[in-house]
Amino acid sequence: MIVGGALAAPSEDRILPVDQYTSQKARTLAQKYAPALRALNAGIYHCLPWLDVPKQSIGFFRPKHLAQPQDYRYLSLRIYIEQETSPQFAALGLKERASAMFSRYVGAMLRRMTERAELVTEPLLDGFSVILGWVKPTSQPGERPVHETIAVFADRPTIADYVAGRASIRDLAGRAVVLGYDGETPLGRLKIQAWEDNFLKTFQIANYKPEPGVTCR
């Protein structure tokens, strides 16, 4: 648990460096939207400190669910969610846990990812992806924890409709591609349910205060 103040700034190694991209299209996006990626990284770091962004987990990646000969590029964010396992959550099936995590985090992350409004009209950008991981609640103490993961992919028009209020979170779940993983085992496409969840608007870590000058929404 984090207490007290945050460090002054997040590590920028969470963002894929421009020189690591393999196409000019991706490099152009990364250079143009570098400030937006830094703002996304900083916002999660300061305001959602129980979310861990691994190294090189923010960037313009090729989506795994689309054929690769064409250079599709999605703005992608990968996070690991640190949470205490509740009996209620553990009692759910994987699809139900995936639905709960989708409802709690995917919409909120997409809104953060589109704070630079022109991203939803950027012709070089094909879509957005949010990858969520959490410890499987049946992992045994003393053993290496197994993570459950969902990878959510949605094209740019779908995200434009969602952030403009023309599509609900339920619509988003129906139009997006959601791939599931049990540890390293792919589970294929998941059909999930989604609902409005205001957890991120109300939850606060005890005794945690963002860095002075940081405003969390």
Q: Which two tokens stand for residue 205?
A: 């870590």
Whether 121 maps to a domain, the answer reads yes
pLDDT of residue 2: 34
| Chain mean pLDDT for the chain | 91
Which domain covers residue 143, as residue numbers? 52-201
Whether 29 maps to a domain, the answer reads no
Q: Name the residue with higher pLDDT: 54 or 141.
A: 54
Q: Name the DSSP letter for residue 103.
A: I
Kindly tell me the burial class for residue 81, based on how many C-beta atoms sit within 10 Å of its own C-beta (0-12, 13-18, 19 or more).
Answer: middle
The one-letter amino acid code at 125 reads L
- Is there a contact between 154 and 128 (Cβ–Cβ < 8 Å)? yes
Q: Which two tokens stand for residue 29?
A: 């996006």
The one-letter amino acid code at 41 reads N
- Is there a contact between 13 and 217 (Cβ–Cβ < 8 Å)? no
What does each C-alpha distance from 58 to 178, 188, 189 come to in angstroms?
A: 19, 23, 23
Tens digits of per-residue pLDDT, 186-206? Answer: 999 999 999 999 988 888 787
Report which secondary-structure segment, H or E, holds 182: strand 177-182
Whether 72 maps to a domain, the answer reads yes
Whether 12 maps to a domain, the answer reads no
Ramachandran class of 7: left when φ > 0, alpha when ψ lies in -120 to 50, beta otherwise: beta
Q: Name the DSSP letter for residue 1.
A: -
Q: Name the residue with higher pLDDT: 210 or 4.
A: 210
Angle at 203 between CA 201 and CA 206, to 5 degrees: 140
Whether 24 maps to a domain, the answer reads no
What does each C-alpha distance from 177 to 14, 102, 119, 165 come to in angstroms?
A: 24, 12, 20, 20
Please state the domain count of the chain.
Answer: 1
Whether 22 maps to a domain, the answer reads no
What does each C-alpha distance from 162 to 28, 116, 130, 149, 168 come to in angstroms?
A: 25, 15, 14, 23, 6
Tens digits of per-residue pLDDT, 36-75? Answer: 999 999 999 999 999 999 999 999 999 988 877 899 999 9
pLDDT of residue 8: 62
